[in-house]
Amino acid sequence: MKRRHAWLLCAWLAFPTLAARQVVDDAGHTVTVPDQVNAIADGWFAHHSVLMTLGAGNKIVATVNHPQSQPWMFKIAPTLNQALQVRGTAFNPESLLARRVDVVFTSKGNDKAQSYRQAGLPTLEMAFTDYPTLMKSVTTTAETLGTTDARARAKDYNHYLQTTLDAVLQKTQRLTAVQRPSVLHIQSLKPLKVDGSQTLIDTWITLAGGKNAAAEIKGNMKEVSPERVLAWQPDIIILGANCGTLADSPYAQLFSGLNAVKNGKVVQNPAGVFPWDRYGTESALQIQWAAQLLHPEDFPGVEMVKVTQEFYRRFFDYPLTPDEASRILHAQPPVN
């Protein structure tokens, strides 16, 4: 009997793929993942919101995010407070093995990915730069989790995002160039960095009925001179949630003559689980917020506090109060 048990054990070890599945990540790698994924290391800041949307936030046992920088994320997924937290985007493979990590997610091209694979850790490189690739990444992540619930949530979220895109585009695609205000999205004030064309930021500005004042610049978070901003003369300035206020910046006096400043059209971008303006599932909220900001007359029925509450209840299983939703919309942290 002992010999038979030993043979069965050897057979199980020799054929681990019997209890595994294969998934193709966003970089095109075919990755063998365990049939059950219970412990996750997530090395891409924005991808945490995808896991939370799929009901797997409590499976993250190693994270690159921190409560100081993403306080709403840690409030809504409190188990993250017990996870291994690292600075930067690199984990020690031994520490992940010690935590019995089943799957590692990294951003596409992360130079640490190979070391995870060499340690025997299934590693998926993730990336999304527009709405179709965001939806694809949500689906891929759900397939990695492998549960009926995750797949259903992915389908529900992708439907919500596509419906939102269609509804906003239906009202903004008819706008002429003259009817589109120029929008400058400032990611940082110290140093001065803006988001240009060929970015998700540029996509939602255009979708919401605006035109990117920094379209001549290509890419995210590009450093520019204040003189260039003066030359662009934006109608609306949207400040990244973590870049502070214009009044407290080195450019308060210099930018005082801008149309956006004189007309009171300088706003802070909302930030919840992740900054809405960047790469996370809350981008579906960003589209609605931006459309109402740019063209309030075309979106009179959009009450962003209620929209935000419904989104968090539906996708994060969290019952936001009206005050909490308002704080998120004003890029304010939760009340401790």
- From 290, 314, 311, 292, select the one nearest 301 (Cα to Cα): 292
What are the Cα distances from residue 129, in Å, to 107, 114, 123, 219, 296?
12, 23, 20, 11, 27
325 pLDDT higher than 60: yes
Domain 20-143 matches domain 165-329 at the CATH topology level: yes
Q: pLDDT for 256-280, tens place per residue?
A: 999 999 999 999 999 999 999 988 9
pTM score, two decimals? 0.91
Burial level of 310, CB count in 10 A (0-12/13-18/19+)? Answer: middle
Indicate the domain borders of the chain.
20-143, 165-329
> How many whole angstroms separate alpha carbon 96 and alpha carbon 98?
5
The pLDDT of residue 207 is: 97
Domain 20-143 class?
alpha beta
Tokens at residue 43, please? 């090395």
167 pLDDT higher than 90: yes
> How many whole angstroms separate alpha carbon 41 and alpha carbon 50?
13
Q: Confidence class of residue 8 from pLDDT cuts 50, 70 and 90?
A: very low
**CATH no. of 165-329:** 3.40.50.1980
Percent of the chain having pLDDT more than 70? Answer: 94
Q: pLDDT for 181-194, tens place per residue?
A: 999 999 999 999 99
> How many whole angstroms separate alpha carbon 247 and alpha carbon 254?
11
Q: pLDDT for 127-165, tens place per residue?
A: 988 999 999 999 999 999 999 999 999 999 999 999 999
314 pLDDT higher than 50: yes
C-beta neighbour count of 36 within 10 angstroms: 12
Q: How far is CA 35 from the centre of its chain?
A: 26
Amino acid at 204: W
The sign of the CA dihedral 65, 70, 71, 75 is negative
Which residue do the tokens 């509804």 mark?
Answer: 167
13 pLDDT higher than 60: no
Helix (H) or strand (E) run with residue 30 in it: strand 30-34
Q: pLDDT for 18-56, tens place per residue?
A: 468 999 999 999 999 999 999 999 999 999 999 999 999
Main-chain dihedrals φ then ψ at residue 284, nearest 5 degrees:
-65, -30
